[in-house]
Amino acid sequence: MRSWGVWCASAALAVATSARADTCPVPDGGDARLAAIDAKARIDFLHRNFDSQAHYARLWKWWWVGIGTATFASSVGQAIGWAAVGDEKTREANVVDNVIVSGFSAVTPIFAVLFALRVEKDAPAVDELLRQTNGGAAGSCEVLARMEELFQKDADEEAFNTGVLAHATAILGVGAMVAILAIEAAVATDPDVRDAHWINAATNGVGGLILTEAQVLSTPTGAIGAYRNYLKGDLPPAPKVSFSVVPLVATPGIAFKLSF
């Protein structure tokens, strides 16, 4: 009886130990609630957010490559059009202005590619890390610390890319383009040529400001909020979405049901 009792106590202790949460230290600024959450849940939360932010970052990059390329092509096309069939008096002014605008337009797709968000590279790196560690089971705290380090950097980058400096840079870039066109207008002696330069400066200035601000404002920012919630220990589970086809009883037919 004594040996049976010892065995039962040992088994109960083993079950309790296996059920205990595998907790890990928290990063700087982390709440005590985060420390009490199982490491697997923390890894899963960060992994989901890496994937979602990388997906949005890729979409954002290629959308702005397309928009910037289209804007560049439009400016080049207008320059060619003015050179071919433009009014003789204002032809040169419009050709020069559109060439200048096309040069500034090329910045948008180049910027989107050269300064692609780092989460695009971090997400595959995290996938590989989890693959090598059996989903983080091997050395969960070390895996988690590395994921936290990368995600914090991604959140900091998003905050920088949507901060005051980013908006100021966008405005200064457009301002530089408008200033060049305005100088051309100021030194022009012919009234028609001067008006053409001013019209180009105004229209391209407004359009350029809208585009550059839209690029900044549409920059992914999900990592900022996700990391802030993570530090507070607020880790909502992944949404469960299901789609089904339900037959109607009262009247013949079917209904589509979306649950989440």
pLDDT per position as a tens digit, 53-84: 999 999 999 999 999 999 999 999 999 999 99
Q: How many domains is the chain built from?
A: 1
Give the separation between CA 109 and CA 126, rounded to whole angstroms: 27
pLDDT of residue 198: 95
pLDDT of residue 8: 38
- What contacts 24+ positions apart, CB below 8 Å, involve 91-94? 92/193, 93/184, 93/188, 93/193, 93/196, 93/197, 93/200, 94/196, 94/200
Residue that is written with structure tokens 């899963």 in the block: 44
Largest CA distance in the chain: 112
126 CA to centre of own chain: 17
pLDDT of residue 149: 96
Q: What is the pLDDT of residues 94-144, one digit of tens each?
A: 999 999 999 999 988 988 888 889 999 999 999 999 999 998 888 899 999
Residue 239 maps to a domain? yes
Residue 9 maps to a domain? no
* Residue 150: CB atoms within 10 Å: 20
* Residue 134: CB atoms within 10 Å: 11
pLDDT of residue 47: 96
pLDDT of residue 4: 40
Residue 2 maps to a domain? no
* Residue 223: CB atoms within 10 Å: 29
Residue 86's domain comprises 26-259
Residue type, 256: F
Band of pLDDT at residue 16, cut at 50, 70 and 90: very low
Residue 209 maps to a domain? yes
8 vs 30, residue with greater confidence: 30
pLDDT of residue 86: 77
Q: How far is CA 245 from CA 24, 55, 249, in A?
A: 44, 29, 13
Instruction: Give me the torsion for CA of 96, 62, 56, 133, rounded to 10°.
Output: -130
Percent of the chain whose predicted confidence (pLDDT) is above 90: 71
Residue 235 maps to a domain? yes
Band of pLDDT at residue 254, cut at 50, 70 and 90: low
Band of pLDDT at residue 13, cut at 50, 70 and 90: very low
Residue 107 maps to a domain? yes
For the chain, the average pLDDT equals 85
Residue 18 maps to a domain? no
Residue 19 maps to a domain? no
